[in-house]
Amino acid sequence: MVDVPDVHIDPLPGELLVGAPDGAHVLGAATVDSDADGRPDTTVVPEPDALVLGTDVDGDARVDVLTRIGDDGTATTHEVPDWDEGPVPPAPIIDPATGGWVRGG
């Protein structure tokens, strides 16, 4: 698997996120238009013995397919399962005791 930068859940425009067991990570900026639709959708990450390509198939800025091309020419492709960012936090409410906004009452 790819070593990814520290957790960063607010990517810059054009950056792709990849899901991991510990949360979302920025894989890098999309620089390759792999399907010729005029929109960069693939990030290329060099490793010591391979190139890893993360591709966003549906335009949601999340990697859907990871492809690893080894230095011996072998290629492996994996579809990345759907991932979420955890449960939606409860809506904020006003605490009757303090008058301040709190999450989840």
Closest to 92 (Cα-Cα) out of 82, 100, 80, 84: 100
**CA separation for the pair 87, 73 (Å, rounded):** 41
Contact 84, 71 (CB under 8 A): no
* Segment 69-86, tens digit of pLDDT: 999 999 999 888 776 655
Rounded to two decimals, what is the model's pTM? 0.66
For the chain, which residues make up each domain, given as ranges?
Answer: 15-103
Q: What is the Cα–Cα distance from 72 to 94, expressed in whole angstroms? A: 61
What is the rounded average pLDDT of the residues 86-105?
Answer: 65
pLDDT tens digit string along 38-62? 899 999 999 999 999 999 988 888 8
3-state secondary structure of 51: strand
